[in-house]
Amino acid sequence: MLVSRVKNHAIRQHRVLLSLVVLGFLIWRSSSRVRVTDMPAVRVEGLNANSSRFTLNGEPIRILGGSMHYFRVPRAYWSDRMVKMKACGLNTVTTYVPWNLHEPERGAFKFHGQLELEAFINEAARVGLWVILRPGPYICAEWDLGGLPSWLLRDKNMKLRTTYPGFTAAVNSYLDKLIPRVVPLQYMKGGPIIAFQVENEYGSYGNDSQYMSFIKEALVSRGIEELLVTSDNRQGLHRGGLKGVLKTINLQKIHPEVLRQLEAAQPDRPMMVMEYWSGWFDVWGGLHHVFEADEMVPVIAELLSQGMSINLYMFHGGTNFGFMGGALGNQPYRPMITSYDYDAPLSEAGDYTPKYHRLRTLFRGYQSDNLPMMPKSQQKKPYKAVTVFQHLSLWEALVYLEKPHHSLRPVNMENLPVNNGNGQAYGYTLYETAITSGGTLNSKNNVRDKALVFVDKVFIGVLDYKTLELAVPDGKGERILSLLVENCGRVNFGKDLNNQRKGLVGDIVLNNTPLRNFNIFSLDMKPDFIERLQSTKQWKSVPKMLTYPAFFQGKLWVSGYPADTFIRLSGWSKGVVFINGQNLGRYWSIGPQQTLYLPGPWLKRGVNQVPPTYLFVRSQACVCGIYTQIGTLNSISCVSKLY
């Protein structure tokens, strides 16, 4: 019986593999056909914007583009999503480049695996899509610090997005590594990149008149030869732009005066919407944004009928995996959720939506050839509930972390002497000091962004932007006051970029006296941190009386071929989920997101393999007041829907 089941299982897997091979072949066939017809063998001229219509190689072209960020989509799915774009009638994929992922430590660069930009660009060519590259270095994008590395903020005088020498030197050394990778992928060198964007919406931000020319020159001097563009929104258009560079606009609804303004600024040049916002992003505690297809499609139809080129931002949003979601800084501070679904035509998990189908019908009218066939959607699977079987309290975990840093005064995350001198970028930081009395604890608004406060490991409350004061109960002798400070995401847009240091950014006072002599633990939750924690012998079975915050481990059993799923954490409050070394992102019960996307390729196949594990930091929900109700531990399930 067992044998035959195993056999059936093997046959099933075989079938799945077989059908994948066949599908892969079909995709290859259609893309190679596309490549032959769409991509000219002889290239005499790149994208040209010297008349009212774009031309490419001398032939008129209308850009029908869609944004998809390689860093928000598992690499195993890049191709699938691009083929779906092509099948919708798009001819171009547009992506930002996130400096903070590519240079996580000053001078140490990453361009492999999920971050292999050249592979993404080559994949676009294979599928038959042109590429518009938006290398920033600032990208906004609801991404931590708008894509800038947090180590820049170690300099207390830092002026981001200006010609401040500390910033330009860092930009130069980053572009020295990035640009040579994309130079050979430009159109005139046989690659698919037809245009580059210079910075991002600088018209809404800066007043350094030299800065945009500096970025332009930084690209050109390193060998960028294709068309350069800038992009600005309605508010920034009149201040944005750069001499000799095509201006484009970002919008969601048609404001005739803005289109007139764009046209007047550059008569007889092609009109392009670089970001047509197909939906919008969500923040924790807010509502999930929906922008109806009925509203969207007529606007796009109108823009096209006016002869404009367009890029849908986003065509496929993907996910803010890890701690990479940004935040809105304009009062109040509002961090981004983990999902970057964006209500885009392809959902977070790459599924077709009504918007996709409506756009396909619309775009078909702009093609002379038939559209390629739409690939099948990826299967989604609900798995059996995850059994959480091990527990390690934060206090027990501390001895396994690197030694704390001693400091008279609080030190912010970025300035901690960790991470090869780059400071701590993301995660949590624990500040501990001895106190000898109770009284009033006041944060002086120096907590970034949320602190759980404990006296001798007993939770006494939360300090954040709203709550600046807490009562510390009286007690005998010396006691330890602990503040576990969570970095919930750095602001990615607006004037406040230079003030995005996290942790404790100044003094905390007890009865008006600043606290001193801290032990500071860095909990960056990077893969080696998680591995170290996982290998400790101190994990215990989950106790009846749970203490928080804590790490939990559980098992997810995957039988059959691993498929995409969504993790629902009913009864859990706030934390972060890891699986097989991947950080799936932040979870927070206040929503609007209730589940975390878990892509199939990150799961291990087969019931007999070492099961994947989860780790959680679980802490009391701050927004709901004191968390008293503890969810049932076996309430982590895998479902097939995001919202």
* Minimum distance, C-beta of residue 90 to ligand GLA, in the bound complex (Å): 19
295 is annotated as an active-site residue: no
- The interface with ligand GLA within residues 248-277 (CB under 6 A) comprises 250, 275
Give me the long-range contacts of 13-21 (CB less than 8 A, separation at least 24).
Answer: 13/560, 13/561, 13/605, 16/561
Select from 116, 566, 193, 591 the least CA-distant residue to 383. Answer: 566
Comparing CB distances to ligand GLA, the nearer of 281 and 561 is 281
Pick from 140, 227, 430, 558: which binds ligand GLA (CB under 6 A)?
Answer: 140
* Minimum distance, C-beta of residue 251 to ligand GLA, in the bound complex (Å): 9
Q: H/E element holding 533? A: helix 527-534
Select from 492, 142, 115 the least CA-distant residue to 339. Answer: 142
Catalytic residue, candidates 103, 123, 199, 201: 201
275 is annotated as an active-site residue: yes
Which segment (108-116, 138-146, 290-298, 315-323) binds ligand GLA by CB under 6 A?
Answer: 138-146
Whole-number Å distance between alpha carbons of 308 and 64? 9
Select from 321, 322, 316, 324 the least CA-distant residue to 343. Answer: 316
* Minimum distance, C-beta of residue 494 to ligand GLA, in the bound complex (Å): 11
Comparing CB distances to ligand GLA, the nearer of 140 and 158 is 140
Pick from 123, 142, 341, 343: which binds ligand GLA (CB under 6 A)?
Answer: 142
Comparing CB distances to ligand GLA, the nearer of 280 and 395 is 280
Contacts of 108 (CB under 8 A, 6+ apart): 420
Residues paired with residue 228 on neighbouring β-strands, in sequence order:
196
Strands (E) in 5-148, as ranges, are 55-56, 59-60, 64-68, 92-96, 130-134
Residue 368 burial class via C-beta count within 10 angstroms: exposed 0-12, middle 13-18, buried 19 and up: exposed
Give the count of alpha carbons within 13 A of 590, CB side only.
19
Which segment (140-148, 390-398, 470-478, 616-624) binds ligand GLA by CB under 6 A?
Answer: 140-148
* Minimum distance, C-beta of residue 281 to ligand GLA, in the bound complex (Å): 5
Contacts of 126 (CB under 8 A, 6+ apart): 31, 35, 79
- The interface with ligand GLA within residues 185-244 (CB under 6 A) comprises 200-201, 233
Whole-number Å distance between alpha carbons of 507 and 587? 29
How many residues in the shown chain lie near ligand GLA by CB under 6 A?
9
Residue 464, token pair as written in the block: 């954040």
Comparing CB distances to ligand GLA, the nearer of 200 and 573 is 200
Q: By CB under 6 A, tell whether 141 contacts ligand GLA.
A: yes
Whole-number Å distance between alpha carbons of 85 and 314? 11
* Minimum distance, C-beta of residue 329 to ligand GLA, in the bound complex (Å): 13
Which segment (139-147, 387-395, 513-521, 530-538) binds ligand GLA by CB under 6 A?
Answer: 139-147
* Minimum distance, C-beta of residue 276 to ligand GLA, in the bound complex (Å): 10
Whole-number Å distance between alpha carbons of 315 and 350? 10
Comparing CB distances to ligand GLA, the nearer of 141 and 425 is 141
* Minimum distance, C-beta of residue 161 to ligand GLA, in the bound complex (Å): 13
Q: Which residue is nearest to ligand GLA (CB)?
A: 140
Q: By CB under 6 A, tell whether 144 contacts ligand GLA.
A: no
Comparing CB distances to ligand GLA, the nearer of 231 and 619 is 231
Angle between helices 117-127 and 165-182 (to 10 degrees): 40
Residue 264, token pair as written in the block: 């007047």
Phi, psi of 542 (to 5 degrees): -60, 120
* Minimum distance, C-beta of residue 353 to ligand GLA, in the bound complex (Å): 17
| Contact mark string toward ligand GLA, 273..312, x via CB under 6 A | --x-----x-------------------------------
**What CA dihedral angle connects 575, 580, 583 and 589, to 10 degrees?**
-30
Comparing CB distances to ligand GLA, the nearer of 281 and 284 is 281
**What CA dihedral angle connects 207, 211, 213 and 218, to 10 degrees?**
-160
Which segment (136-144, 252-260, 329-337, 585-593) binds ligand GLA by CB under 6 A?
Answer: 136-144
Which segment (76-84, 103-111, 134-142, 566-574) binds ligand GLA by CB under 6 A?
Answer: 134-142
Residue 362, token pair as written in the block: 């619309």
Whole-number Å distance between alpha carbons of 260 and 320? 36
CB contact at 8 A, 426 and 527:
no
* Minimum distance, C-beta of residue 262 to ligand GLA, in the bound complex (Å): 15
- The interface with ligand GLA within residues 395-414 (CB under 6 A) comprises none
Catalytic residue, candidates 226, 275, 414, 486: 275
Q: How far is CA 79 from CA 120, 129, 293, 348, 567, in A?
A: 8, 11, 25, 15, 24
Comparing CB distances to ligand GLA, the nearer of 154 and 161 is 161
* Minimum distance, C-beta of residue 79 to ligand GLA, in the bound complex (Å): 24
Comparing CB distances to ligand GLA, the nearer of 139 and 508 is 139
Comparing CB distances to ligand GLA, the nearer of 90 and 344 is 344
Question: What does the binding site for ligand GLA look like in residue numbers (CB under 6 A)?
Answer: 140-142, 200-201, 233, 250, 275, 281
Instruction: Supply the residues annotated as catalytic.
Output: 201, 275
